[in-house]
Amino acid sequence: MKALTEHWYRPRPWLTALLAPLEGLFALASLTRRLLYRTGWLKTVRLPVPVVVIGNINVGGVGKTPVVEGLLRQLRARGVAVGLVSRGYGGSHATPTRVTTDSDPAVVGDEPLLLAATGAPVVVGRDRVAAARHLLEICPDTALILADDGLQHYRLGRTLEIVVLDAARGAGNGHLLPAGPLREPVSRLRTVDAVVLNEGTGVATCAPLALPQALPQFRMRLMAGALESLAQPGRQATPADFAGQRVVALAGIGHPERFFDTLRQQGLELSRTLAFPDHHPYSEADIPAEAGAVIVTTKDAVKLQCVNRARLWQLPVRAEFSPDLADWILKRLKRDHGR
């Protein structure tokens, strides 16, 4: 699998040729499904409130979760009654389930649990339509729904589509799965309403992606906060506080190198980095015994309740958009739908 993902961003021509038949099958299945919805053979369900989809055309970590978290906080700060529906990847839930800060990540997934901390109502469900309906039942005052990672879930009607892209990695080698990282071709960007470029901290590994000229573009930067102790909530630290310690960074996210680079840019000297698969279920064995301090992402932190947290610290980040993405969404909804 590692060789395959490396090929997505540093392509090997022979592997592209070898995977071409599988890529063709994936492209045919994806196009057929989309056409079935566009022609009405498969039905799209419209809800009584606007739905804004935050998704991506490629797999892997592009920074979608901080985009959603940032939007939830900013919309709520403007007095908008916003709710969220999510697939709840990695959770065992069988029916639409309300997520609270006390929910079990093994049931609802890690990302929804992190997003519930914004105070917005969050419902997970494999069927996004059923999840959205459940959200409106339990929170009837909801005026706007964000759909996390629902770009390809065409059964759920949407008012706006916003795609998140990693500015450094772009569309990789430009091929569809499994020959490349794309769920849909780059041409799909011509039909979305806006794109958010996650500038991150990394160096570009692919050619810059040529975006449609008329497509509204927003840039996102992740601003790191103070390190927070998982064992003693409220206790904070600076990178200087870890001088002389053996510091290990641990991440089970789509693009862990971005997190490791962020820690180094904060001035932390890392003796070791550990990258786990996205949505990894942690156990005590995953925490290196030799570490004086272990620093994790906030997404990983919600799954580390079952281990000794004495040496664990998390690095919270917040998204900053340029220009103001929440303001643009509200103006578009008001202009197009009078909401």
User: Is 2 a residue whose pLDDT tops 80?
Assistant: no
Residue pair 71/64 in contact by the 8 Å Cβ criterion: no
Q: Please report the pLDDT score of residue 208 as a whole number.
A: 58
pTM for the model stands at 0.92
Contact 82, 120 (CB under 8 A): yes
Q: Enter the tokens of residue 105.
A: 């990540």
Question: What's the DSSP call for residue 207?
Answer: P
φ and ψ of 335, to 5 deg = -70, -45
Does 65 appear as a known binding residue?
yes
Quick one: average pLDDT of 315-328?
95
pLDDT digits (tens, 9 = 90+) for 183-198: 999 999 999 999 999 9
58 is in an annotated binding site: yes
pLDDT, tens digit, 9 for 90 and up, residues 28-58:
999 999 999 999 999 999 999 999 999 999 9
Structure tokens at 330: 């509200």
Q: What is the pLDDT of residues 79-114, one digit of tens each?
A: 999 999 999 888 889 899 999 999 999 899 999 999
- Whether 63 has a binding-site annotation, put simply, is yes
Q: Sign of the CA dihedral 222, 223, 227, 232? A: negative
Q: Tell whether 60 is in a known binding site.
A: yes
Residue 205 confidence class, pLDDT cut points 50, 70, 90: very low
Confirm or deny that 122 is annotated as ligand binding: no
**How deeply is 184 buried, as exposed, middle or buried, from its count of CB atoms within 10 A (0-12, 13-18, 19+)?**
buried
Are residues 118 and 85 in contact, defined by beta-carbon separation less than 8 angstroms? no
Cross-strand bridge partners of residue 321:
220
Percent of the chain with pLDDT over 90: 76
Q: Could you identify the residue written with the tokens 């709520």?
A: 76
Q: pLDDT by residue (tens digit) across 253-267?
A: 888 988 999 999 999
The pLDDT-based confidence of 151 (bands split at 50, 70, 90) is very high
Tokens read off for 9: 């961003």
Indicate if the pLDDT at residue 338 is higher than 70: no
Task: Please give the average per-residue pLDDT across 10-34, as a whole number.
Answer: 94
The per-residue pLDDT of the chain, averaged, comes to 92
Taking the chain, what is the end-to-end CA distance rounded to the nearest angstrom? 46
Residue 338 labeled ligand binder = no
Give CA torsion, residues 66, 69, 74, 78, to 10 deg.
160
CATH class of residue range 38-80+143-220+321-337: alpha beta
Q: Is 90 annotated as a binding residue?
A: no
Q: Does 62 show up as a binding residue in the annotation?
A: yes
Instruction: Give the start-to-end residue ranges of the domains of the chain.
Output: 38-80+143-220+321-337, 226-315
* Confidence grade of residue 6 (pLDDT, cut at 50, 70, 90): confident
